[in-house]
């Protein structure tokens, strides 16, 4: 795989904790407004720039995208600088009981289009258009794509990163969620060349998180290339033909559960619903919340009662998609019993990231907003990579990665 150093635009060290922000797609506008309150340096003012406009502003209006570009330029003047030379960067996150160390670099749009940077999710045209407009207004990749490689494909890369993190980082702060973020600059050309050679041996990268931004970077590159072809100045090495990513060995990553809550029982009484479940599941009441400990086990919360569901007949392990726990729930409960066939469009279902805990499932049901909740065993990285290798697509909301990369720590201008 091709990796390329770049001249990052990044926060001044004394302001990094104020600038760095959670990704734009893990909160809504009102939550972003609260998170950025009283902090003029928050990168949410770039990624969720509608928070600096009147509350009635359409978040997909031209005004919002123009504000994003304006806020980025102002932030660069007041709180950020651009490195004078091209560097790689090592980004280490410690939180939720684990540490993961990745290489921040630019990766190739053409290798994504060739399928060497592998996806496992579909993207939506409206979400792509949103990011296209944002990226064009900012003329930058403002948040890194979260990529992974099979750790067995490059023990050399891991070894180099372990050596680099023995030095003092340029950034070291703990965010409000308790996650520690550290960053090292890799400016030595010899070390850069060693990393480039190590990654050349890696046959594929996998998108862990950021499918829409990844697809958007490719489309913006195509748009820019089309305009330069027209003017006779096509440059395949131009910055827009590479995009910002942080690349981790897969065995350092953790996927949390991504749970489901449903508004109603599809017109059934609870007794009838439980009876239908028994055709595929062994059902046991639990006096405590049920967090599944293994595959093909589900926790269910219904009328102030937790249940442990154990699948009676296991799917064919060779069937990668239908062996996912989220697929099992869909194929045995959500679709045939509750009548939820399209997870992307059905308004009767919602999704709760595992970071919010089982208490959030109880809250959603106890409030009367939802009727039943399902706690799932998390998808594994090996399952994710197997799906991507097979050029298949996971069901929606199959993975929730923690800890999250912070936006604004590194920006790639193109």
Using alpha carbons, list the distances in angstroms from residue 148 to 21, 194, 374.
Answer: 22, 19, 28
Predicted pLDDT of residue 230: 66
pLDDT per residue over 49-75, tens digit each?
999 999 999 999 999 999 999 999 999
pLDDT above 80: residue 233? no
- Token readout for 346 is 């059905």
Mean pLDDT of 204-211: 96
Q: Contact, 24 vs 405, CB < 8 A?
A: no
Q: Is the peptide bond before 318 cis (omega within 30 degrees of 0)?
A: no
Predicted pLDDT of residue 66: 98
Predicted pLDDT of residue 292: 97
Mean pLDDT across the chain, nearest whole number?
A: 95
pLDDT per residue over 380-404, tens digit each?
999 999 999 999 999 988 999 999 9
Instruction: Give the pLDDT band of residue 236 (cuts 50, 70, 90).
Output: confident
Predicted pLDDT of residue 127: 93
pLDDT above 90: residue 155? no
pLDDT per residue over 132-142, tens digit each?
999 999 999 99
pLDDT per residue over 313-368, tens digit each?
999 888 989 999 999 999 999 999 999 999 988 999 999 998 899 999 999 999 99
What residues contact residue 369 under an 8 Å CB cut-off, 6+ apart? 261, 263
Q: Contact, 116 vs 389, CB < 8 A?
A: no
Percentage of the chain with pLDDT > 90?
Answer: 91
In the chain, where are the structural domains located?
A: 3-254+402-413, 258-377
- Token readout for 24 is 């734009």
Instruction: Give the pLDDT band of residue 237 (cuts 50, 70, 90).
Output: confident
Predicted pLDDT of residue 5: 98
CATH architecture label of 258-377:
2-Layer Sandwich (3.30)
Instruction: Give the pLDDT band of residue 409 (cuts 50, 70, 90).
Output: very high
């Amino acid at each position: 795989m091709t990796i390329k150093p770049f001249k990052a635009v990044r926060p001044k060290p004394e302001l990094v904790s104020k600038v760095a922000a959670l990704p734009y797609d893990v909160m809504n506008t009102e939550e972003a407004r609260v998170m950025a309150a009283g902090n003029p340096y928050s990168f949410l003012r770039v990624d969720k720039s509608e928070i600096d406009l009147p509350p009635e502003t359409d978040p997909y209006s031209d005004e919002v995208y123009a504000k994003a570009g304006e806020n980025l330029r102002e932030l660069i003047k007041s709180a950020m600088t651009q490195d004078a030379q091209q560097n790689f960067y090592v980004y280490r996150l410690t939180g939720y009981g684990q540490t993961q160390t990745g290489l921040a670099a630019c990766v190739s749009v053409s290798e994504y289009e060739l399928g060497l940077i592998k996806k496992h999710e579909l993207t939506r045209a409206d979400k792509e258009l949103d990011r296209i407009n944002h990226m064009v207004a900012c003329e930058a990749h403002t948040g890194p794509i979260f990529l992974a490689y099979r750790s067995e494909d490059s023990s050399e890369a891991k070894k180099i990163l372990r050596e680099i993190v023995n030095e003092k980082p340029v950034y070291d702060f703990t965010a409000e969620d308790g996650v520690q973020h550290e960053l090292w600059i890799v400016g030595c050309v010899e070390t850069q060349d060693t990393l480039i050679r190590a990654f050349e041996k890696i046959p594929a990268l996998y998108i862990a998180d950021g499918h829409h931004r990844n697809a958007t970077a490719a489309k913006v590159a195509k748009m820019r290339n089309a305009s330069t072809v027209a003017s006779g100045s096509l440059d395949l090495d131009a910055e827009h033909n590479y995009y910002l990513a942080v690349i981790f060995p897969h065995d350092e990553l953790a996927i949390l559960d991504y749970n489901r809550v449903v508004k109603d029982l599809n017109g059934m009484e609870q007794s009838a619903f439980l009876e239908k479940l028994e055709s595929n599941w062994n059902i046991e009441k639990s006096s405590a919340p049920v967090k599944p400990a293994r595959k093909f086990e589900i926790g269910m919360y219904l009328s102030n009662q937790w249940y442990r569901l154990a699948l009676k007949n296991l799917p064919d392990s060779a069937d990668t998609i239908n062996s996912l726990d989220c697929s099992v729930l869909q194929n045995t409960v959500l679709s045939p019993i509750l009548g939820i066939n399209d997870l992307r469009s059905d308004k009767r279902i919602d999704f709760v990231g595992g970071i919010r805990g089982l208490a959030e499932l109880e809250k959603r049901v106890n409030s009367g907003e939802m009727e039943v909740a399902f706690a799932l065993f998390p998808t594994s990285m090996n399952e994710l990579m197997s799906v991507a290798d097979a050029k298949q697509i996971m069901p929606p909301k199959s993975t929730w990665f923690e800890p999250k990369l912070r936006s604004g720590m590194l920006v790639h201008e193109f």
